[in-house]
């Protein structure tokens, strides 16, 4: 689909300026009329009207590839993408729209192409679209869907769409059980689009994932600390967000789990006969718990060991 640009010697370019009609027009010089392009476009339309969709797709593709500066090139690429989409060729349709977006940024079809890309990418991410291959229907892979969303964000890097696409990537990785990639995607939303509606939820979800990782890792101390820090960052950066109360409760629960973990370590060392280490961790429980069941149990063990 993407044309191969041939580098011409500088001397040839200079000597040919304004006289050699065989040279392609300079990028940005605007579309031009081209009899062959007009003929290909007419043939494609005829094939389409006669129900010969594959032939029409091929003719539109040929026009857009081989005569990219013709006035009909953008329309041909857009129509090719539409027919591919209607045929269930989701990835090929997405790529055809991508070609138009990258090559025809000033085209009147740009917004329509971006809207169709957006619809395809998010529908694929939600599992609503499957790709047709040799007459079969198969779900799109995670890598393919993430690639679509990444391209989408790149086409509108400063728009709300980019934040939505990046957040959706985080959702996909989280649902696929890939916490590190999910955290990376969510953090990119917070860093790159801090004012977006998605940013507060993205920061909160980083804490949720880390907390889940700690729970599955037998109260892993490092993940508990990181989860707590993430929720504290969320409260600091997004005060008044709808999940602030939930974050405070989770921070409190993390503190309790951390103290329990410290008590368990003390008990472990006591059973191993390492009294010095046991007393150190019991003292930590007493210092941090202030009061309550764990505080009293740790104090009782300290009294017994002393």
CA distance 277 to 281: 6
| pLDDT greater than 90 at residue 219 | no
Note whether 76 and 113 are within 8 A (CB).
no
Mean pLDDT throughout 259-281? 87
pTM: 0.75
User: What's the CA gap between 253 and 250, in Å, rounded?
Assistant: 5
With tokens 């031009």, the residue in question is: 32
pLDDT at residue 6 greater than cutoff 70:
no
User: What pLDDT, on a 0 to 100 scale, did the predictor assign at position 217?
Assistant: 66
Asked whether the predicted pLDDT for residue 172 surpasses 50, the reply is yes
Model confidence at 26, pLDDT cuts 50, 70, 90, reads very low
What is the spatial distance between Cα 90 and Cα 92, in angstroms, rounded to a whole number?
A: 6
Contact of 37 with 67, CB cutoff 8 Å: yes
Q: Say if residue 157's pLDDT is above 60.
A: yes
Residue 238's pLDDT is what? 97
pLDDT band at 28 (very low <50, low <70, confident <90, very high): very low
Q: Is residue 261 very low, low, confident or very high in pLDDT (cuts 50, 70, 90)?
A: confident
Q: How far apart are CA 225 and CA 210, in angstroms?
A: 9
Measured CA to CA, the distance from residue 267 to residue 297 in angstroms comes to 11
Band the pLDDT of 134: cuts 50, 70, 90.
very low
- Give the model's pLDDT for residue 186: 98
Q: Is the pLDDT of residue 284 over 60?
A: yes
Q: Is the pLDDT of residue 1 over 80?
A: no
Nearest C-alpha neighbor of 290 from the set 257, 249, 259: 259
pLDDT score of 153:
95
CA distance 286 to 299: 6
User: In the structure, what pLDDT confidence band is assigned to residue 137 with cuts at 50, 70 and 90?
Assistant: low
The three-state (H, E, C) secondary structure of the chain, written as one string: CCCCCCCCCHHHHHHHCCCCCCCCCCCCCCCECCHHHHHHHHHHHHHHHCCCHHHHHHHHHHHHHHCCCECCHHHHHHHHHHHHHHCCCHHHHHHHHHHHHHHCCCCCCHHHHHHHHHHHHHHHHCCCCEEEECCEEEECCHHHHHHHHHHHHHHCCCCHHHHHHHHHHHHHHHHCCCHHHHHHHHHHHHHHCCCCCHHHHHHHHHHHHHHHHHHHCCCCHHHHHHHHHHHHHHHHHCCCCCCHHHHHHHHHHHHHHHHHHHHHHHHHHHHHCCHHHHHHHHHHHHHHHCCCHHHHHHHHHHHHHC
pLDDT of residue 76: 97
Q: Is the pLDDT of residue 22 over 80?
A: no
Which pLDDT tens digit goes with each residue over 72-128?
A: 999 999 999 999 999 999 999 999 999 999 988 778 899 999 999 999 999 999 887
The alpha carbon torsion through 73, 76, 78, 82 (nearest 10 deg) reads -170
| pLDDT value of position 112 | 95
The first and second tokens of residue 203, run together, are: 């920061």
Please report the pLDDT score of residue 136 as a whole number.
52
Residue 288 has pLDDT above 50, yes or no: yes
CA–CA separation, 225 and 190 (whole Å): 20
Q: Which of 90-94, 163-167, 171-175, 279-283 has the lowest mean pLDDT?
A: 279-283
Confidence of residue 205 (pLDDT cuts 50, 70, 90): very high
Residue 136 neighbours by CB under 8 Å, 6+ apart? none
pLDDT at 30: 45
How much of the chain exceeds pLDDT 90, in percent? Answer: 62
Mean pLDDT, rounded, of the chain:
85
């Amino acid at each position: 689909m993407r044309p191969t640009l041939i580098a011409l010697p500088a001397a040839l370019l200079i000597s040919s300026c304004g006289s050699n009609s065989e040279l392609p027009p300079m990028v940005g010089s605007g579309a031009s009329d081209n009899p062959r392009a007009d003929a290909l476009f007419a043939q494609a339309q005829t094939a389409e009207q006669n129900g010969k969709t594959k032939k029409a797709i091929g003719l539109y593709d040929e026009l857009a590839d081989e005569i990219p500066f013709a006035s009909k090139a953008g329309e041909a690429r857009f129509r090719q993408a539409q027919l591919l989409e209607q045929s269930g060729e989701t990835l090929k349709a997405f790529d055809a729209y991508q070609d138009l977006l990258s090559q025809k940024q000033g085209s009147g079809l740009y917004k329509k192409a971006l809207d169709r890309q957006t619809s395809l990418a998010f529908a694929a991410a939600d599992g609503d679209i499957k790709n047709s291959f040799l007459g079969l229907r198969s779900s799109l892979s995670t890598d393919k869907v993430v690639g679509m969303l990444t391209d989408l964000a790149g086409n509108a890097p400063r728009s709300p769409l980019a934040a939505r696409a990046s957040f959706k990537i985080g959702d996909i990785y989280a649902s696929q059980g890939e916490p590190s990639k999910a955290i990376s995607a969510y953090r990119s939303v917070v860093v790159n689009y801090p004012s977006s509606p998605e940013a507060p939820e993205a920061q909160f979800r980083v804490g949720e994932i880390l907390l889940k990782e700690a729970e599955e890792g037998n109260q892993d101390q490092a993940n508990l600390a990181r989860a707590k820090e993430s929720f504290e960052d969320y409260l600091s950066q997004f005060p008044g967000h709808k999940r602030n109360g939930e974050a405070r409760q989770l921070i409190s629960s993390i503190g309790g789990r951390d103290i329990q973990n410290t008590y368990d370590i003390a008990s472990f060392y006591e059973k191993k006969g390492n009294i010095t280490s046991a007393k150190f961790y019991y003292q930590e429980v007493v210092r941090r718990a202030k009061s309550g069941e764990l505080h009293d149990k740790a104090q009782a063990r300290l009294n017994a060991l002393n």
